[in-house]
Amino acid sequence: MLGRYVGKWFYDKGIPFDAANSPYYPPMVSAIQRAGPEVKPLTAYELSGLILNEEEVEVTKWIEEYKQSWPRTGLSLISDSWLNKVSKKEFLNFLAYSPIGTIFLSSKDVSRIKKDANF
């Protein structure tokens, strides 16, 4: 029966099935099991407030540690463009790659920039 409830939640919210392969999925299920029958579901307010803020602090710390490794490991700057087919806007994304991983640096709307040899 548990599988049906989890499945309905995935289907109702359009959660990609691959989310079940996330390394964070099993620890989440374990934490719910440990909390026992008294556990209360998190509200959208909690998820979009305190929980999100805590996660942002953790990710920001990780990014700073990652950046501190660049003098030791080196890095490659990567750019990638994509077109939003709905708004017809074109974006150029900038990422930093090192042996530790890849992080997003920034995105620029290049819709109104002339694309020629100087681009």
The answer to whether position 59 is within a domain reads no
The answer to whether position 47 is within a domain reads no
The answer to whether position 45 is within a domain reads no
The answer to whether position 14 is within a domain reads yes
Among candidate residues 76, 104, 100, 102, the one with its CA nearest the CA of residue 92: 104
- Number of residues that this document lists for the chain: 119
The answer to whether position 48 is within a domain reads no
HSE-up of residue 33 (Cα within 13 Å, Cβ side)? 7
The answer to whether position 112 is within a domain reads yes
pTM over cut 0.75 = no
The answer to whether position 85 is within a domain reads yes
The answer to whether position 83 is within a domain reads yes
The domain total for the chain is 2
pLDDT at residue 76 greater than cutoff 80: yes
pLDDT at residue 115 greater than cutoff 80: no
Residues 42-74 have pLDDT tens digits of 999 999 999 999 999 999 999 999 999 999 999
Which domain range does residue 2 map to?
A: 1-39
